[in-house]
A and B are shown apart, each in its own frame.
Chain A
Amino acid sequence: MDYILIICKSGVMYSGQLLQEYSDDLKWIGIKPSTKSDICLYFATDRIKKIYFQDGTSETKIETDLKEMPELDLEIPEENISLIRVKGGVSYCGERIRGEDIPTDIHDKEGYWISPSSIKETIIYIPEYEAEEVYSI
């Protein structure tokens, strides 16, 4: 599968290998940032401003000046928070999402599902075997 780079409304940017063929109909785009890890990130397509593809093309989904820092509207969740240290030395933090609340477009898998923001621009999937330490409130 090809790699893409996504720029979100908040200015958060990630790149990785697509989990399924890219299409305009997707409500969530999933990527795997590293082939050495099974951690996946899902991005809500209505919050994506631009995508770069590995053939050098790009698609602007929301017209905006990418050099301007956008108004940050990501709210830090206040409840059901977990901070997860994953293999590879990175930490992710966010609101835990229960299985039934995972959007149906995303294939449900066992593990940790968290969203760093209550707006749910991004949802992070961390398999249990990738989580080294978990702190929760």
Chain B
Amino acid sequence: MKSIVFIVRSSCDNQEQAESAYMAPLGVLSIANTLRMHGYHVHVLDFSAHDYETSEIYELIERVNPIYIAFSVYTENVDNIFIMCKAFKKRFKNIPIVLGGPHPTLDTEYCKRKRFVDFILIGDGEHNALELAEAIRTNEKLIHFSDIQGLVYVDEERKYSNGRPRRFITNIDLLPIINRDYIRKCFTATIPSMYSSRGCPGRCIYCAAPEMSGGKYRVREVENVFLETLYVEDMYKGYDQIFYCDDTFTVFNKRVERFIELCDKSVIKFRWRCESRVDAMFKNSYLLKGLKEAGCKRIQFGIESGNQKVLNNIGKGMDLSQAYEIIDETVNAGIDVAASFIFGHYCDTLETMEDTIGMMEKLRELYGNKVGVAYGLNTPFPGTYQYEHMKELGIEMTAKKFCELDMLSPVMQTKNFNIDDLKRFNSRGLKLYN
């Protein structure tokens, strides 16, 4: 039996926070299921589900002797992952160490640590993780490392070779449905998650989604989404709401109409929430009644700023008046709203951030608990437009390490606001947060 071990560290590395709102690592689980289908026994060790002792992991690796150990790497945990990789390589010299996930995709060069990283998987991981397993298993008789698309490997001269360019999965319906049985904790989550699409049609300058998915927005057939929902509903007894964690669930109205129809005809009813965009929901607001009847309990809108000029400058493509209107219509349709904001856009000033606070206050005043307001502090992650154009945008990063990019701490300033200003807005935002 051929085994593979996947290690997932929480993106925030804050055990308490990770445990309170457990989200299954769907990307890793999707890769694990692709490998399972091909006969590989995959072990997924998720630190958000269980705080593993190093000795526990060592014992597992010694027992199953995996053909590789793969780490799922987020920007904020990359340096902690390196520490683990180094220790693992020292102990298990002959087992390849593989990195994959957002950070290796968006900042590949940073991940090239020759002494202890053997392979880097870039982009969607299902196909290249399988091809890598087959290359290792057959000693490259079936496929050479150099033929694998989206794989960085160490060549014969002990240099990293980038191999063939990454390949995008454009038809995600061809992948297996995600079985969550790798992580028992998945089934006790109160907000079980699943996705119905990958990528986002938006091009916001603070978001890495376009770069992660190569600007491609890929949707699953809605019947497949509905059937997976039935499985999730069946498995997660005691759940609160199923969460479609796509960046935008409601882009295509015909698809949403069909989803509503499937829900309507189904003998099993379920409660769910999703994320949407103001512009997408605004033009399809006639769907709200059907969404309510289909069990939708909450829609999250990324508003991001209470100032129209800021929204225009960050590529949000949204009209504030439409935001107020669609929030009102959604609440009136009987669906709760979560509105999220960001303080510290490159073009923010103290006045524009006051506008954002003002909008948060107004929404609370108008709708009470029907509209939850949430916020984060602007964080230039690798892969985002603002990260690649910091100088041009006048951004000064004050954070010195990637682990500081937790979206809760101020990490940048401009000529219009400094770290202390962001701290003050953070405190004020916290009082409105619900």
Task: Please determine whether A5 and B231 come into contact, CB atoms closer than 8 angstroms.
Answer: yes
Residues in B whose Cβ lies below 8 Å from that of A34: 171, 173-174, 221
CA distance A69 to B186 in the complex (A): 12
- Of B2, B40, B143, the residue contacting A135 (CB under 8 A) is B143
Residues in A whose Cβ lies below 8 Å from that of B131: 83, 91, 93
User: Which B-chain residue is minimally distant from A94 (CB atoms)?
Assistant: B38
- Taking CB atoms and an 8 Å cut-off, the chain B residues in 218-242 that contact chain A are 221, 223-224, 226-228, 230-231, 234-235
B169 within 8 A of A: yes
Distance in Å from the Cβ of B72 to the closest Cβ of chain A?
A: 19
User: Which B-chain residue is minimally distant from A132 (CB atoms)?
Assistant: B167
Mask of B115-136 contacts with A, CB within 8 angstroms, 1/0: 0000000001011001100100
Task: Please determine whether B168 and A89 come into contact, CB atoms closer than 8 angstroms.
Answer: yes
CA distance A50 to B80 in the complex (A): 41
A66 within 8 A of B: yes
- Taking CB atoms and an 8 Å cut-off, the chain A residues in 1-52 that contact chain B are 3-5, 7, 10-17, 33-37, 39, 52
- Of B39, B174, B226, the residue contacting A39 (CB under 8 A) is B174
- Of B1, B134, B176, the residue contacting A12 (CB under 8 A) is B176
Which stretch in B87-95, B264-272, B332-340, B380-388 binds the other chain? B264-272
Given known pairs A12-B176, A54-B262, the reply for A88 and B171 (CB within 8 Å) is yes
B399 within 8 A of A: no
- Of A13, A67, A81, the residue contacting B142 (CB under 8 A) is A81
- Of A7, A16, A56, A85, the residue contacting B268 (CB under 8 A) is A56
CA distance A55 to B267 in the complex (A): 6
- Of A33, A68, A83, A135, the residue contacting B173 (CB under 8 A) is A33
- Of B1, B127, B141, B180, the residue contacting A72 (CB under 8 A) is B1
Residues in A whose Cβ lies below 8 Å from that of B312: none
Distance in Å from the Cβ of A25 to the closest Cβ of chain B?
A: 23
Task: Please determine whether A90 and B33 come into contact, CB atoms closer than 8 angstroms.
Answer: no
Task: Please determine whether B176 and A13 come into contact, CB atoms closer than 8 angstroms.
Answer: yes
- Taking CB atoms and an 8 Å cut-off, the chain B residues in 27-60 that contact chain A are 33, 36-41
Task: Please determine whether A83 and B39 come into contact, CB atoms closer than 8 angstroms.
Answer: no
Distance in Å from the Cβ of A12 to the closest Cβ of chain B?
A: 5
Task: Please determine whether A69 and B181 come into contact, CB atoms closer than 8 angstroms.
Answer: yes
User: Which B-chain residue is minimally distant from A3 (CB atoms)?
Assistant: B223
Task: Please determine whether B235 and A89 come into contact, CB atoms closer than 8 angstroms.
Answer: no
Task: Please determine whether A76 and B40 come into contact, CB atoms closer than 8 angstroms.
Answer: yes
CA distance A63 to B231 in the complex (A): 15
Task: Please determine whether B134 and A83 come into contact, CB atoms closer than 8 angstroms.
Answer: yes
**How many residues from B make CB contacts under 8 Å with A?**
53
User: Which B-chain residue is minimally distant from A2 (CB atoms)?
Assistant: B223
Task: Please determine whether B37 and A72 come into contact, CB atoms closer than 8 angstroms.
Answer: no
Residues in A whose Cβ lies below 8 Å from that of B227: 3-5, 15, 52, 54
Task: Please determine whether A89 and B173 come into contact, CB atoms closer than 8 angstroms.
Answer: no
Task: Please determine whether A13 and B177 come into contact, CB atoms closer than 8 angstroms.
Answer: yes
Residues in B whose Cβ lies below 8 Å from that of A56: 230, 265-268
Task: Please determine whether B127 and A75 come into contact, CB atoms closer than 8 angstroms.
Answer: no
B147 within 8 A of A: yes
Residues in B whose Cβ lies below 8 Å from that of A67: 180-181, 184, 187, 235
Residues in B whose Cβ lies below 8 Å from that of A94: 38
CA distance A90 to B34 in the complex (A): 10
Distance in Å from the Cβ of A102 to the closest Cβ of chain B?
A: 19
CA distance A36 to B218 in the complex (A): 12
Residues in B whose Cβ lies below 8 Å from that of A33: 173-174, 224
Residues in A whose Cβ lies below 8 Å from that of B173: 16, 33-34, 36-37
Given known pairs A76-B137, A93-B38, the reply for A54 and B177 (CB within 8 Å) is no
Residues in B whose Cβ lies below 8 Å from that of A66: 181, 234-235
Residues in A whose Cβ lies below 8 Å from that of B184: 67
Given known pairs A54-B223, A87-B171, the reply for A76 and B126 (CB within 8 Å) is no
CA distance A88 to B171 in the complex (A): 4
Residues in B whose Cβ lies below 8 Å from that of A12: 33, 36-37, 176, 179
Distance in Å from the Cβ of A135 to the closest Cβ of chain B?
A: 5
CA distance A55 to B223 in the complex (A): 11
Residues in A whose Cβ lies below 8 Å from that of B226: 3, 54
A106 within 8 A of B: no
Residues in B whose Cβ lies below 8 Å from that of A90: 126-127, 169, 171, 174-175
Residues in A whose Cβ lies below 8 Å from that of B221: 3, 34-35
Among B37, B38, B223, B230, residue most surrounded by chain A Cβ atoms (within 10 Å) = B37
7 contacts between A and B (CB under 8 A): A5-B227, A36-B171, A52-B230, A67-B187, A75-B39, A76-B38, A91-B131
Contacts A3-B223, A35-B221 aside, 11 further interface pairs with beta carbons under 8 A come to A3-B224, A13-B177, A34-B173, A55-B266, A66-B235, A69-B182, A89-B167, A89-B170, A93-B131, A135-B142, A135-B147
Hey, which bits of chain A sit against chain B, CB under 8 A? 3-5, 7, 10-17, 33-37, 39, 52, 54-58, 66-70, 72, 74-77, 81, 83, 85-94, 116-117, 122, 135-137
Hey, which bits of chain B sit against chain A, CB under 8 A? 1-2, 33, 36-41, 124, 126-127, 130-131, 134, 137-138, 141-143, 147, 167-171, 173-182, 184, 187, 221, 223-224, 226-228, 230-231, 234-235, 262, 265-268
